[in-house]
Amino acid sequence: MNLTPIWSHLRLITPATLSTAIVAFIFATTAPFALIIASTVKGGLNEAHIASWVFGGFLINGIISIAFSLYYRQPLLFLWTMPGTVLVGQALTHMTLAEAVGAYVVIGVLVLLLGLSGMVRRVMEAIPMPIVMAMVAGVFLQFCLDWILAFKQQFWIVAPMSAVFFGLMLAPALAQKIPPLIAALIVGAVIAVFTGTGNAVGPLQLTIQLPQLTMPVFSLPALVELVVPVAITVLVVQNGQGIGVLTAGGHKPPIDTITVACGVSALLTSTMGAVSSCLTGPVTAILVSSEEREHQYMGAVVMGALCILFGLTAPFVTRLSLAAPKELIATLAGLAMLKILQTSFVAAFKDRYSLSALMTFVVTVSGISIANIGSPFWGIVAGYICAKTLDRDVA
């Protein structure tokens, strides 16, 4: 156990480590945060429930990230599953938050037991990755479509944001100094303020407020619809990506312990309404890009501290986000999803199981609901059956 005095850890916070942590935090509070706002608004949650989600997603995961990063001296940053957020947002259109919370509890227990049993690798290998990524592509596609449709409602906000984003993408050197997504957010916010385009909200006060808890309701349709797809996004999509990034960076991530941490965090944040926790992929990649490998874990510690502060101010940041025009949020979420959607398509269709992946994608995008169970679950079922029959020779 690393019981090193705290000062010996703090001296490893160099300017490079600090700047990397800030960039990673900015990313987490733009793209993933915009996804929370977009999904929860779509699901019809009120301001108090959204603030509780933000509180749990940032504060609890920030604490766990600091503890694990210090203990293992690796950048182990836990937040929440982005595909799972989209899945829940869709599900909340036909189920209650209490039913979703019931699914969160079951997911937390399932992930925790898998971590304790050491069976994580077998579960991760059970469903072909192309099927998983096709499901992810299917649930993310709508956010990119919402961005395109937003041009019709608020052209003079959406067009400048998109132009700035792609303009910076064409200048990689400049994009390293000014992240395209941040620039798009600033442009959209400035235009919204000067044009008076926004939503009416209460007074903006920087206050700290305890989350509004929701007791779980265990509904069979909700459990069937959410447990397997969300657990897959945690274990296979998000944790698999994060573990891969850490391994490529020369770290030796404790896979079973990471899984246990995700299960514990999911249980702690479930009644706050926050979707299940995971080891982040994109944020971990940012943290691993900093200087010496031995210093990278302190970047995760700094970001964990920033997440705690952000979670504590959840009522303020939530109200501020809800004041923004919905087209601004849709554009931010859509632009953020482009790269992830591209990666999902490539992983789904570049190699084996392409027919199974196509079946998964088509069923997921269809939005079909059978027995009050949403299309992402049926997409995985259709793809898995196809993989075991029509695509069985490619294994």
Residues pairing with 279 in the sheet: 78
Q: Could you tell me which residues come within 8 angstroms of residue 197 by beta carbon, excluding any fewer than 6 positions away?
A: 154, 157, 191, 325
Residues pairing with 277 in the sheet: 80
What does each C-alpha distance from 241 to 99, 124, 148, 278, 394 come to in angstroms? 29, 12, 28, 10, 24
CA-nearest of 47, 51, 31, 26 to 307 is 26
Per-residue model confidence as pLDDT tens for the chain (395 residues) = 444 555 566 666 677 677 778 878 877 887 778 788 888 888 889 888 999 999 999 999 999 999 999 999 999 999 988 888 888 988 998 899 999 999 999 999 999 999 999 888 777 777 788 888 888 788 778 878 989 999 998 899 999 999 999 999 898 888 877 778 788 888 988 898 888 776 655 565 666 677 889 999 999 999 999 998 899 888 887 887 788 778 877 888 898 999 999 999 999 999 999 999 999 877 887 788 766 777 888 889 999 999 999 999 888 888 877 777 888 888 887 887 787 788 888 888 887 888 999 999 999 898 887 766 678 888 888 999 998 888 766 55
The DSSP letter of residue 295 is G
Identify the helix (H) or strand (E) that includes residue 53: helix 47-55
Which two structure tokens, joined as six digits, stand for 117?
A: 């049993």
Rounded CA gap, 362 and 186, in Å?
Answer: 36
Report the first-to-last Cα separation within the chain, whole angstroms. Answer: 42
CA-nearest of 257, 277, 320 to 57 is 277
What does each C-alpha distance from 283 to 23, 69, 234 come to in angstroms? 9, 14, 15
One-letter identity of residue 28? A
Q: Residue 168: is it exposed, middle or buried by C-beta count within 10 angstroms (0-12/13-18/19+)?
A: buried
Residues pairing with 278 in the sheet: 79
H helices then E strands: how many in the chain?
21, 2
Residues pairing with 78 in the sheet: 279
Which two structure tokens, joined as six digits, stand for 334?
A: 């859509």
Rounded CA gap, 364 and 368, in Å?
Answer: 8
What are the φ/ψ torsions at residue 373 (nearest 5 degrees)? Answer: -115, 130
Q: Output the pLDDT for position 376.
A: 81
